[in-house]
Amino acid sequence: MKYHGLGRGLGALISKKDNSTNEVFRDNFSDAKNGDAVFYIEIEKINPNPEQPRKEFNEDQLRNLSDSIREHGILQPLVVSKLEKISSSGIEVSYQLIAGERRLRAAKLSGLFQVPVIIRKTTPKENLELAIIENVQRSDLNAIERAVAYQKLIEEYNLTQQEVAARVGKSREAVANLLRLLNLSQEIKDAISSGKINEGHARAILMVKDQRGQMDLFYRILNMGLNVREVENIARTALARVKKIIEIDPNMKFMVSQIEDAVGAKVSVQPRAKGGRIIIEYYQSSDLENIVNKIYKNINSEI
């Protein structure tokens, strides 16, 4: 008997053999693609993965998976690492889950005593990578969970966006866009996680630059049941209105021209619900130096 379906990314990360255990039963099959030995170990010896990026587990889906396991068994082994602790009675062995938490939870619900596993020697970074890849390839993570997991790979394990993208089989742009969701307010992020709005809604909300505008649009989605296209149209209209105000308002244009004359560079203004942003453009380091000198000169002339 052979197991299939580990996935290209997941299989690439667990392709090394490890036959270091002899206290568990070794079955007479291996992973079809990588030649990984599969063992049966007791469920009670498996600890949850602390790097698990998935926080939401749908109870109905777990029950459905549990029913399937009762009927067909576990069709794909879990991935674990071996933990050894010296005690007064000798060496105590347990296992830490790397990938397969849904299967483990469903197996517990179905009353299984043992589950099939592949045993790996991994680092904490590899544990996180495996958990992310398994969930992403099966679309089990919501958008915020994926974004938080990607951010953890970047911040704690010093990966670039490009390296994260390569590991999860996405483009760098897709990873960057997902990470932008973390800039939204916690209320909006919670709504994404709970399924009140979807990732498309969130991307449309991000088109609005100020937080107050984002929250106004968010509440309109909840109260009016807007679809993604409707939200995008509202966001584009709001952006066009801001641009039009800048273009038409004579006072705004006059102030921008004054700033441009003062610094000797092109200036643009981005108004927000409260305040705004002034952007001064430059093309090379010498331009920036000239801009700074002019600002410094104008300040001194006013003193």
CA distances (Å), origin 54, targets 45, 110, 131: 21, 21, 8
In terms of DSSP H, where are the helices of 43-121? 59-72, 101-110
Question: Please, are residues 24 and 93 in contact by the beta-carbon 8 Å criterion?
Answer: no
CB 99 within 8 A of CB 19: no
The label of the residue with tokens 């099939």 reads: 116
* Partners of 82 in beta bridges: 95
Q: Which two tokens stand for residue 223?
A: 């109260």
Q: Is 71 a catalytic residue?
A: no
Secondary element (H or E) of residue 150: helix 143-157
User: How far is C-alpha 192 from the geometric centre of its chain's CA atoms?
Assistant: 12
Task: Count CB-CB contacts under 10 A for residue 40.
Answer: 16
Catalytic residue chosen out of the listed positions 51, 101, 129, 134: 101
> What are the tokens at 253?
């244009």
State the catalytic residues: 101
